[in-house]
Amino acid sequence: MNSYKELISTKDLPQHVAIIMDGNGRWAKKRKKPRIFGHSAGVKSVRQVVEAAREIGIRHLTLYTFSIENWKRPKDEVSSLMSLLLSTIKSEFDDLHKNNIRVKIVGNTSMLPEKIYKQVQKTEEISAGNTAMTLNIALSYGSQWEIANAARKVAEDAVAGKIRPEDINTDTFNNYLLTSHSPHPELLIRTSGEYRISNFLLYQLAYSELYFTETLWPDFSKEEFFKALYYYQQRERRFGMTSEQLKQNHKSQS
């Protein structure tokens, strides 16, 4: 076997893969470098994973880039991260746009510095018509905030008479989430050996397969991504049904 890519069935790919990109700081610490050195190195992995996802046919990719909780980090680190983010968006966008990738920012953008906000808004607008893949960048994101924000909007629409309480269900609520333009992820990947969801897509991950790897994010390559997809395809997704029911459904659909 030369690559896990050779083992992947393109007929059974997840539509949506979400990734918690973790381990930049530890990667830098191992090399006795400042944390921002690890974040800079992690940009290479972002590039590789986006390329791999588009190459194999993933339609939606969500990257956990910066959480609402990350604003609590030391000011110099946050400032460096924002500068890195701005330069990365500017340097990578031409390739993303050329490859027909739509970019969506998912998070509380009101917390972003003005320069960053204007750049991400411009990026979204220019790429809005792209159709090959949607790249969701979870920036200034927190799932508990997102769910509370969605509930507030539902309440506002109910008071305004735009929606009736009896019409509120999982489908209508999903329309108020920031990821309503994407299906819920079938696969969540977390790097660096941590086994937490960390306030990421809590509602959307209800039926996601979880894949954890010890690999630190700056070392996460295309091959690591293909490996995660391969292991995803070895799992049986039952959605509350039995294996026998799934087999019967597959027979009736074939």
The verdict on whether 169 is a catalytic residue reads no
Which of 2, 12, 22, 175 is labelled catalytic? 22
149 closest CA partner among 104, 98, 205, 111: 111
Catalytic residue among 2, 12, 24, 70, which?
70
Which residues does residue 101 pair with via DSSP β-bridges, in sequence order? 133
Q: Are 9 and 186 in contact (CB under 8 A)?
A: no
Q: Would you call 70 a catalytic residue per the annotation? A: yes
Catalytic residues: 22, 70
